[in-house]
Amino acid sequence: MTPNALAMLCQGDEQRRPETIEELLAGMAPLLPMLDVIPNAAIFIKDVQARYLNANRTLVQRCGLKQLQPLLGKTSAEVFPAQLGPGYTEQDRRVLEQGLVLEHQLELHLYKSREPGWCLTYKWPLYNRNGEIIGLMGVSVDLQSASNTHPAYQRLVAVDEYIRANFNLPITMDELTRIAGISAAQLERYCKRVFHLTPRQMIHKARLEHAHRLLHTDMLITDVALQCGYTDHSAFSRQFKALTGFTPRQYRQATERN
């Protein structure tokens, strides 16, 4: 089941919406075995307090659990490591309180090995027939390996290598299109097909991976920002929080507590 198919379930027409979250869960019961066999996506439903009501096997395993039951009734902040969980819960609350629809959000997640990795997250508010939010549904899809069968693969590898070598410098779309020898629209489209990310997301990913490493050292956060290609501390903090749910300082403190 694709994120688009899940979105259609969440945003169905008003007359077919459930009255309660329990009614929705009952209606989705036949789908749950199918969701359990998807190994590269964590799928979940939460109530209006951002507590898990259901989740597929992949998410259960990534929380370090063998069964679903211990996960139920808890928030992400209660089950994920301190560097990740509170950020997920803050994101959930924005969906639940503001009706935010989250799509193609690049962020750190947790793999079965309990090691962090990258994913694309989607979250949708769930409404009843009166238009009231009764919960949320989400899916975090593992960032897939590059598709090396695409005709433009070699051109895009050059773009990826350039980003990885120069992420600490300002990088413009003009530079990337010149390297690839294609238009900006083609570059955007082909990068999504090959790397499953936009060029801008590729830059953010390279910068944040380096920031993740540096925040485990004693380097001043202002220096980390400069090392990662950000012109000032506030720009770095905004971007880091968008992808992790934490400011760099909060992330470092959470890491030190673990």
DSSP E strands in 92-236: the ranges are 102-110, 116-127, 133-142
Element (H, E) at 44: strand 41-46
Domains of the chain: 3-142 (3.30.450.20), 153-257 (1.10.10.60)
pLDDT at 7: 52
Point out which residues pair with 137 in neighbouring strands. Answer: 45, 124
Angle separating helix axes 199-214 and 153-166, nearest 10 degrees = 40
- In sequence order, which residues have a C-beta less than 8 Å from that of residue 211 and are 6 or more positions away? 224, 225, 228, 236, 240, 248
Low-confidence ranges of the chain (pLDDT < 50): none
* CA 63/CA 81 separation, integer angstroms: 9
**pLDDT, position 148:** 80
Q: Which of 204, 6, 215, 236 is nearest to 123 (CA)?
A: 6
Cα(146)–Cα(2) distance, integer angstroms: 19
Question: DSSP state, 197?
Answer: S
Distance CA 99, CA 69 (A): 28
Q: Is 176 exposed, middle or buried (0-12, 13-18, 19+ CB in 10 A)?
A: buried
At 151 the pLDDT is 85
Q: Whole-model pTM above 0.85?
A: no
Residue the block writes with tokens 């301190």? 82
**Pair of tokens at residue 221:** 């956060």
Residue 3 token pair: 């994120």
Q: Which residue in this structure is represented by tokens 């009166």? A: 130
Q: List pLDDT tens digits, range 78-127.
A: 998 777 788 889 899 999 999 999 988 888 776 665 566 788 899 999 99
Rounded distance, CA 216 to CA 110, Å?
18
Tell me, what's the pLDDT at 253? 77
Instruction: Say what the pLDDT of residue 86 is.
Output: 84
Residue listed under structure tokens 């259901």: 54
| pLDDT at position 39 | 84
